[in-house]
Chain A
Amino acid sequence: MNKTIKVFILGEERELPWNTMLGDLYGMLGFSRWSTLLLVNGEPRADDSYLDDGDMISWLRITYHESPVRENGKKMRYLSRE
């Protein structure tokens, strides 16, 4: 039987393989590591550190930039000359 750990990701309990690294969560959650920083128990941690049972994972948006889709659902014109 494979060993698992239970962690809280953004407040929700999740069961993960025991050898899950923090960096693996970026892909699982669909976050870019360049615009988001995942925190373990409120602190930054290396992406290649293993998660422990009971760890609380939160995230911090590190860029100022929002989704490239406007409220009306239309894509923004990136190359508009200003």
Chain B
Amino acid sequence: MERRCDICQENEAIYTDYSRGVSLCTNCLKSSIRRRAWAVLENELQEGDKIVVAHSGGKDSSLALYITKEFIDTHPDMKLNLVSLTIDEGTFYRKASIELAKKLAEKLGIRYIVFTMEDIHGISIEDIKVNIPKNWRRSVCTYCGVLRRQAINAVARELGASVVITGHNLDDIVQTSLMNIARGDVNALVKTLRHERRIEEGLIPRIRPLKYVYEREIAALVIALGIPAHLGKCPFTQGMRIGIRRVIDELEDEASGSKIRALRSFYLITRSIRPRVEIKRCKVCGEPTTADLCKACQFKLELSDFFGKDLLKPPSFEKASSEKEWIWSNR
């Protein structure tokens, strides 16, 4: 029995939006998501921006790329330039998503570039997984997150990008904010939510167009539109986020719209707080950091013991430098 869309009353509904109490068809869901994502892009992008989309090939970054491309095509006056970038952490899981990321970039007519973690940091996540002790206090995700984040920022900077777009969704940002609160780390909370264009020299501003979009909406739309995206899960995932996620999901079940209201509250609370951090340069790699050694170098130093060799060396960006001109040239 077909359930019609509550908005257009024409097509079959594919998604129930509990926060608004409506069921939507593919077109109306897409319009709803696009409206929220474009509002962020209109607010945060500037004329002439060179955009790198951190595109893992998963559903979130694939939809972020898709929506950003639509935005660029309908705003030619802004003279925006877009490339898609994947950091290959070296997991078997990433192989499938790279193929799909490449396919989507080709379909949209966007330049696509892959850098491996091994090229940049000299180690892969698979190597870390194999070499750290079984009950080690840090999960593989902790290393992966830090090394990947630094790689995306540094590669985007070396490529001459003015902004990085990521696929972080509403669920991700609320979880991260609450994790920072649970850890008592107000500085990290403020840094998660701030969106000034120029943060510090060496740090490329990040835009998250899907920050007001539920992860569930993204999955439904990606499947309904047939956007090439990897829908599997990372085999290594573990950590504090799992428990936080469960709490937030239960809250959303009890009171629809809690996630959006929580995010808006976090923004209001942190608006007037300036993070009490001084950005310095890492003594080893020169990347921006708040300590003498950046987190990536601290981790490489820690991992050196398990690998039995010195991993502490500056990241390599030879490939980024050589690709820089080609990547932004007109096709």
Which of A's residues lie within 8 Å of B, judged by CB? 23, 32-35, 37, 39, 43-50, 52, 60-68, 70, 76, 78-82
Contact = CB atoms under 8 A, between A and B. Distances in A.
B292 interface: no
B14 interface: yes
Contact of A46 (B13, B138, B237, B242): B13
Main DSSP-derived SS at the A contact region:
loop
Interface in B1-58: 1-3, 12-16, 23-24
A48 B300 CA distance: 50
B162 to A, nearest CB: 29
Interface in B238-267: 238-246, 249, 252-253
Contacts of B3: 45-46, 48-50
Contacts of B244: 78
A68 B243 contact: yes
Chain B: interface residue count, which band?
35 or more
List 10 A-B pairs, minimum CB-CB distance, nearest first.
A49-B3, A46-B23, A46-B13, A78-B243, A47-B16, A34-B249, A62-B219, A44-B220, A50-B1, A44-B14
Interface string B63-102: 0000000000000000000000000000000000000000
B277 interface: no
Contacts of A23: 16
Contacts of A35: 245, 249
Contacts of B249: 32, 34-35
A34 to B, nearest CB: 4
Contacts of A65: 233, 237, 241-242, 245
Contacts of B287: none
Contact of A81 (B183, B216, B245): B183
A34 B253 CA distance: 9
A45 B14 contact: yes
Given A33-B216, A66-B233, 17 more contacts: A23-B16, A37-B220, A43-B14, A44-B15, A45-B12, A47-B23, A50-B3, A52-B1, A61-B232, A61-B233, A62-B216, A64-B233, A64-B237, A66-B238, A76-B238, A79-B182, A80-B240
